[in-house]
Amino acid sequence: MSRETSPGVTVRQLIEYGARAFESARLWFGHGTDNAVDEAAELVFFAAGLRHEDAPIVYETTLNEQQRARVLELFDRRIRERIPAAYLTNRMWFAGYEFHVDERVLVPRSPIAELIEARYEPWIDPDRIERLLDIGTGSGCIAIASALVLPQAQVDAVDVSDDALAVAAINIARYGLQTRVRALRSDVFDGVQGKRYDVIVSNPPYVGDEELASLPPEYAREPRVGLHGGQDGLEIVHRILREAAHYLTPHGILIVEVGNSEETLVAAYPKVPFTWLEFERGGGGVFLLTADELRQLTQGRR
């Protein structure tokens, strides 16, 4: 890391120093923050034991030697090892809730958070969501945040990775949701045969071969099973589309994130009336289909 300028001693000076160092090292931001200042701020607040809620009043606080050394060590690791900040702090916020994260799961960052904050309105009446399925739950963020905003709902959080399920279990216990959120091993729908859900939501792996090879080094820190969706990126999405109608209630909805693979998906299913959702905080590539629309798809329209 560059030592040309002094890191300073206040919270503000350290954040500015870190952000400058991150920018000159050409780091990639996209794992929960989208710029150098926010990434540096998270590391400073974490290392110094400060709360983000206190941000405006602590900026001019002077850190002691120990806090300062911890901050500089994290900056150094962020640059040298290209580890996303969330794996250095083992925490990330999603839909307003804090989750434990580590390298066994993807760093939560799906725009689906906004939909959860809106309790899935206006797409379905939240009071009619009795059962929800989250496919590829990872840290459990989508399943758990959904359960927290829908106090009557039973949630199945499935993943093919035992590592991910272990992290989801930590977060389920953290929110005391063991009776309402069930983490279970399932290859897409294989483990939930015969069940019906009012909402099926998924942020599956959707990165194709070509895109995977071109991703910045920070992505190599994440589990490949969380990113790689086969050659065209849509292997899991094709399976979800083929089978979802059998697992939805008549008024149910399917919501799936496909990110940059949106164009490939639309080209593969020219007749399917995807509704592409819009998000105030940015991000996209999330579609919605109703149970009716999916039934037509399984009856041969593609």
Ligand X SMILES: C[S@@+](CC[C@H](N)C(=O)[O-])C[C@H]1O[C@@H](n2cnc3c(N)ncnc32)[C@H](O)[C@@H]1O
Would you say 186 or 261 has its CB closer to ligand X?
186
Give the pair of three-digit tokens for residue 273: 């009336």
Q: According to CB under 6 A, which one of 85, 106, 133, 181 is a site residue for ligand X?
A: 106
Q: Cα separations (Å) of 79 from 16, 154, 232? A: 15, 42, 31
> Residue 67 Cβ, how far from ligand X at the closest point, in Å?
30
Would you say 69 or 173 has its CB closer to ligand X?
173
Would you say 235 or 293 has its CB closer to ligand X?
235
Q: Cα separations (Å) of 273 from 47, 163, 253, 254, 290? A: 48, 36, 13, 13, 10
Looking at 150-259, list the stretches that DSSP marks H as alpha helix, in order from N- to C-terminal side: 162-174, 209-213, 235-243
Stretch that binds ligand X, among 37-45, 70-78, 159-167, 279-287 (CB under 6 A): 159-167
Describe the crossing of helices 162-174 and 141-149 by its angle, rounded to 10 degrees. 30
Give the 3-state secondary structure of 15-41: HHHHHHHHHHCCCCCCCCCCCHHHHHH
Between CA 256 and CA 298, with CA 246 as vertex, the angle to 5 degrees is: 80
Would you say 104 or 180 has its CB closer to ligand X?
104
> Residue 53 Cβ, how far from ligand X at the closest point, in Å?
24
Contact 168, 177 (CB under 8 A): no
- Identify the burial level of 115 via C-beta atoms within 10 angstroms of its C-beta, where 0-12 means exposed, 13-18 middle and 19 or more buried: buried
Would you say 140 or 252 has its CB closer to ligand X?
140
> Residue 17 Cβ, how far from ligand X at the closest point, in Å?
31
Stretch that binds ligand X, among 50-58, 117-125, 155-163, 170-178 (CB under 6 A): 155-163
Count CA atoms closer than 13 A to 185's CA, side-chain side: 5
Would you say 68 or 180 has its CB closer to ligand X?
180
Count interface residues toward ligand X (CB under 6 A): 25
CA–CA gap between residue 113 and residue 95 (Å, rounded): 5
Using rule CB under 6 A, residue 171 touches ligand X: no
Interface with ligand X in residues 211-230 (CB under 6 A)? 225-226
Would you say 141 or 245 has its CB closer to ligand X?
141
Q: According to CB under 6 A, which one of 142, 144, 258, 265 is a site residue for ligand X?
A: 142
> Residue 295 Cβ, how far from ligand X at the closest point, in Å?
23
Under DSSP, the state recorded for 53 is G
Using rule CB under 6 A, residue 141 touches ligand X: yes
> Residue 161 Cβ, how far from ligand X at the closest point, in Å?
4
Contact 201, 142 (CB under 8 A): yes
Interface with ligand X in residues 228-267 (CB under 6 A)? 236
CA–CA gap between residue 211 and residue 260 (Å, rounded): 9
- Binding mask 4-43 toward ligand X (x if CB under 6 A, else -) reads ----------------------------------------
> What is the contact surface with ligand X in residues (CB under 6 A)?
105-106, 108, 110, 135-139, 141-142, 158-161, 164, 186-188, 203-205, 225-226, 236
